[in-house]
Amino acid sequence: MLIAAWACARIECMVRRFMPDDLDMLLTSLITLLITATLAYLIIMPLGGWLFEGMSWLFMHLNSNPLGCAVLAGLFLIAVVFGVHQGFIPVYLALMDSQGFNSLFPILSMAGAGQVGAALALYWRAQPHSALRSQVRGAMVFPVCLALANR
């Protein structure tokens, strides 16, 4: 979706260059949507499918060694930023089906634990009444609430 939205914005700028002002409001959106939908269907969606197949292969083969686990934990936060971490649920289910347990979720949660550790280190190393300390304190409230709620 992010790539399609970015492409849509670029295509709209190109369409506006040659569209007459009289037809701009009516046809620019239509032409932009048609081009973007075609581009998304023919190019972006197959690339996304190959990307998720590759990610599934990575998850299936890298979760059995420590270096692979570190790579997966590092990539997980990037996936969370872009919102594709919800796409990992079928991988979790496939692991549950094939292995009987999900070894991937605890590995990926280590990325969040590393973030909490870094935030605590910043909090303890910052000056007692500094802006950094108050910002880190505010950033730790939500993870602490989640940890208490999941007990």
pLDDT tens readout for residues 109-118: 777 778 888 8
Whether residue 56 lies inside any domain: the answer is: no
pLDDT per position as a tens digit, 43-83: 989 998 888 788 777 777 777 778 877 887 888 888 888 88
Neighbours of 2 (CB within 10 A): 10
Tokens of 42: 């023919």
- Does the reported pTM lie above 0.75? no
Q: How confident is the model at residue 150 (pLDDT cuts 50, 70, 90)?
A: low
Give me the number of domains the chain comprises.
Answer: 2
- Go through 84-93 and write b for each residue having 16 or more CB atoms within 10 A of its CB, e for each that does not: beeebeebee
Residue 37's domain comprises 1-51
Contacts of 71 (CB under 8 A, 6+ apart): 58, 62
pLDDT per position as a tens digit, 131-140: 888 888 877 7
For residues 11 and 79, state if they share a domain: no
Whether residue 91 lies inside any domain: the answer is: yes
Whether residue 46 lies inside any domain: the answer is: yes
Whether residue 58 lies inside any domain: the answer is: no
For residues 23 and 80, state if they share a domain: no
